[in-house]
A = this chain, B = another copy of it.
Amino acid sequence: MLDMTLLWGSGSCPCWRAMIALEEKNLQGYNHKLLSFDKMEHKSQQVLDINPRGQTPSSRHPRDQQNRPFLHWVSLLQSQFQNQGNRLIPDAAEERALMYQRMFEGQSFYEKLNNVIYYDLFVPEEERHASALSRNKEALKAELGLWEAHLQKSPGSFLAGSSFSLADVVVFPTMAYLFRFGLSEGRYPKLGEYYALLKDRPSIKASWPPHWLENPKGHEALKDF
């Protein structure tokens, strides 16, 4: 069993990534604590002591008392449990290079999505402008076109080729948000195919956000995209 405690929030993409990675490595049964974002528990001292950015997921090995942000932590997981479960990092140089590239781009994808669906949450009322939101929407549409093309050109069904990798760990939660917020699979067929292929994967099903299970009906913010 893994000697760690994961502090997480339901529906947080960064947390979901960490949980998918743990499932893929067959590292179930770790300690964890579900935090309430509504109660701002992710800014609590317990989290800040571990992660000075006050972000989930936060996890700590009791041994070293050091915060391990996502990628750092996954790399260590990888070296400690290299031959357990899915390798997550392809051996072939070309696929590995593509994986890191897609992970970096995944961050931009995630931010562009948030800038649309959480515009009101991020921007105080007196600073909101219809023109700004509409620019954010155009930026997200352009981004969706790039990912549709990435999948079109991928040599396999996954983002970095023919095997499930860290790129999928990082980007799948963003994809799931798209469809929960009403994106049309008809207009983005490759994204739809990718989502359908991955949503029932055991690691992803096991880590599905609990509040999405309680409330399977999503939102419509991206219906007309």
Contact = CB atoms under 8 A, between A and B. Distances in A.
Contacts of A107: 104, 107
Interface stretch (A18-26, A126-134, A191-199): A126-134
B53 A75 contact: no
A61 B146 CA distance: 21
A1 interface: no
Contact of A127 (B70, B71, B101, B129): B129
A149 interface: yes
Nearest to A127: B129
B97 A75 contact: yes
26 contacts: A52-B149, A69-B101, A69-B104, A70-B104, A71-B97, A71-B100, A72-B97, A72-B98, A75-B93, A75-B96, A75-B97, A75-B100, A75-B101, A76-B93, A76-B94, A79-B93, A79-B97, A100-B100, A104-B104, A104-B107, A107-B107, A123-B132, A124-B131, A126-B131, A127-B129, A127-B131
Identical copies in the complex = 2
Interface residues of A, number: 30
A41 interface: no
Contact of A132 (B70, B75, B104, B127): B127
A79 to B, nearest CB: 4
A37 to B, nearest CB: 19
A103 B75 CA distance: 13
A93 B76 CA distance: 7
A124 B97 CA distance: 37
A53 B71 CA distance: 25
